[in-house]
């Protein structure tokens, strides 16, 4: 980043964040603290009202705003594609805001930049692989949960687990304090404190039904930050499988969530390692590849594969 770009970026960061130390800016822009001191001096000489307080940091004088900024074609495309993504994946309210934002961005772009951005956008496309009939309820739930999070109110919903509980049931009713929404691997996940489990749990919106927002409110823990939250990893069971060379490429492209490592063998086959909570979590995946995937360990999963194949044969 050259000096001119860095000076502009510093002003933008100070406008976005009330106070920043020289050390923070130096780390942010990967330069020295001495260089930041010189940049601040240059900004002051250029008329930007930067206020420095020893031991606290730098800030912009109250009421100062940077004049409107022009976008490059690449920056415009980034914003427009982001609006496309939000319209596809977020709820209806945010979808409408995404459309209006896209229109405003396109309206303020100079003609040459708008034409170049349009040309670049035509070379890229966002596609959703989820049927709208199934994605519709999930988008509705995003809006409901988003409102519950902002209002700090409990939610109640039916939830279908992937694997049955000890009593054999997969369906349960949960009441939870919603802490945040995470979009991962093409699906929305609610991070919430479950009243039933008395702990933080993750719930896929696609497995929810009859979601309602309750009148009862909750207090978000002061030490909880969704941006820094790392869920505990309780996947302690190691699974190793051998993948035949004929389907190696397809298996790699499938990108299984539980995959830990893939080792390519000299004959073109793959040695894959997974970590799961229960062997059943990989059973359907293994069966889906037929004879092309062989479970090496653990023996419990090998036994389950044999039993499932035996049950399948009874139907033929």
Per-residue pLDDT tens for 273-309? 999 988 888 999 999 999 999 999 999 999 999 999 9
Angle at which helices 111-121 and 73-89 cross, to 10°: 50
Average per-residue pLDDT for the chain: 87
**Residue 114: predicted pLDDT:** 83
pLDDT confidence bin for 194, thresholds 50/70/90: very high
**Pairwise pLDDT comparison (134 vs 3), residue with the higher score:** 3
Angle at which helices 299-313 and 280-288 cross, to 10°: 50
Question: Which range, of 8-22, 121-135, 200-214, 290-304, averages the lowest pLDDT?
Answer: 121-135
**Residue 168: predicted pLDDT:** 61
**Pairwise pLDDT comparison (77 vs 167), residue with the higher score:** 77
* Whether residue 126 has pLDDT greater than 90: no
**Residue 167: predicted pLDDT:** 59
Give the residue from 170, 177, 174, 202 showing the smallest Cα distance to 188. 202
**Residue 110: predicted pLDDT:** 81
* Whether residue 134 has pLDDT greater than 80: no
Q: What is the pTM of this model?
A: 0.65
* Whether residue 133 has pLDDT greater than 60: no
* Contact assessment for residue 36 and residue 26, using Cβ atoms and an 8 Å cutoff: yes
- 3-class state of residue 217 by DSSP: strand
**Residue 273: predicted pLDDT:** 96
**Residue 272: predicted pLDDT:** 96
**Pairwise pLDDT comparison (242 vs 253), residue with the higher score:** 242
């Amino acid at each position: 980043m050259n000096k001119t770009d860095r000076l502009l970026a510093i002003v933008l960061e100070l406008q976005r964040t009330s106070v920043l130390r020289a050390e923070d800016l130096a780390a942010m822009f990967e330069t020295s603290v001495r260089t930041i001191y010189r940049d601040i001096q240059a900004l002051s000489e250029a008329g930007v009202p930067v206020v420095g307080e020893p031991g606290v940091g730098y800030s912009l004088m109250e009421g100062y705003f940077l004049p409107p900024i022009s976008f490059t074609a690449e920056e415009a495309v980034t914003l427009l594609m982001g609006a496309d993504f939000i319209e596809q994946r977020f709820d209806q309210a945010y979808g409408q805001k995404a459309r209006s934002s896209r229109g405003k961005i396109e309206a303020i772009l100079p003609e040459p930049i708008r034409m170049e951005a349009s040309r670049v956008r035509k070379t890229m496309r966002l596609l959703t692989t989820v049927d709208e009939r199934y994605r519709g309820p999930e988008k509705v739930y995003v809006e409901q949960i988003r409102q519950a999070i902002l209002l700090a109110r409990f939610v109640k919903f039916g939830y279908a687990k992937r694997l049955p509980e000890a009593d054999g049931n997969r369906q349960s009713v949960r009441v939870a304090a919603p802490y945040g929404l995470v979009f991962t691997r093409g699906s929305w996940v609610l991070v919430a404190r479950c009243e039933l489990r008395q702990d933080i749990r993750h719930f896929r919106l696609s497995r929810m039904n009859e979601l309602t927002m309750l009148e009862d409110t909750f207090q978000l823990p002061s030490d909880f930050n969704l941006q820094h939250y790392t869920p505990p990893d309780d996947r302690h069971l190691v699974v190793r499988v051998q993948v035949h060379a004929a389907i190696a490429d397809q298996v790699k492209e499938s990108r299984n969530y539980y995959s830990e490592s893939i080792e390519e063998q000299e004959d073109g086959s793959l040695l894959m390692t997974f970590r799961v909570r229960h062997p059943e979590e990989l059973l359907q995946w293994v069966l889906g590849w037929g004879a092309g995937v062989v479970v090496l360990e653990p023996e419990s999963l090998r036994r389950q594969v044999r039993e499932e194949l035996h049950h399948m044969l009874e139907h033929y």
